[in-house]
Amino acid sequence: MRVYVPLTLPGLAEAHKAGELGPDPLTAYAVTPALREWYVSDDIEELEYAALNRAAAASLRLLAVDPGCPRRRVVVAVEVPDADAVPDPDRGLDPGALGEVRIARPVALARAAAVHVDSGEADADVSAAASALGAADQGDGDAQFVVDGAEDHELLWYATQEIPQLVGLGD
């Protein structure tokens, strides 16, 4: 199963140094039954794109709690055995948990298929979105508009061999 792990650039640097994504339990996003039902599509590429976007939103939340972190959303696409990616049964009906899975152990970075990262052009919008996230969560429509502005930026695809260059962005 392909899962999408939300990170930050410093988190990607730590994973690169350790050779694994962790510590456990690891939160990731995948094509779960709840995501399929919500998205109402049978196209696996569309569903995986939806899971990727859920992970990008989770990466934005990581940025919101770390104001010193470079303002780039980071998502690592990783292949794991199906049995390793388990939805939280207590959050099954929570719209915020659509596609969310837990992985009980660290995942070797060698299992990564790709890394998705914002371009430099997204920095201002991602920074503004991270700052507005708390107000958006409280129902502020203007803040939600700012958060949605980050979603207008597509994450760029990088091969895993490019991780050393990507983590250099965080220095």
Q: In 3D, which of 91, 117, 130 has the Cα closest to residue 10?
A: 117
Give the 3-state secondary structure percentages of the chain, helix then strand then coil, rounded to 5: 55, 20, 25
pLDDT tens series, the chain, 171 aa: 999 999 999 999 999 999 999 887 899 999 988 888 877 777 888 899 999 999 999 999 999 999 899 999 999 999 999 899 988 777 666 777 888 999 999 999 999 999 999 999 999 999 999 999 999 999 999 999 999 999 999 999 999 999 999 988 544
Classify residue 53 by its DSSP letter: H
Q: CA torsion angle for 77, 113, 86, 55 (degrees, to 10)?
A: 0
| Rounded CA separation 109/15 (Å) | 7
pTM of the entire structure? 0.91
Do the strands 156-158 and 2-7 form a parallel or antiparallel pair, or are they unpaired? unpaired
Q: How far apart are CA 65 and CA 147, in angstroms?
A: 15
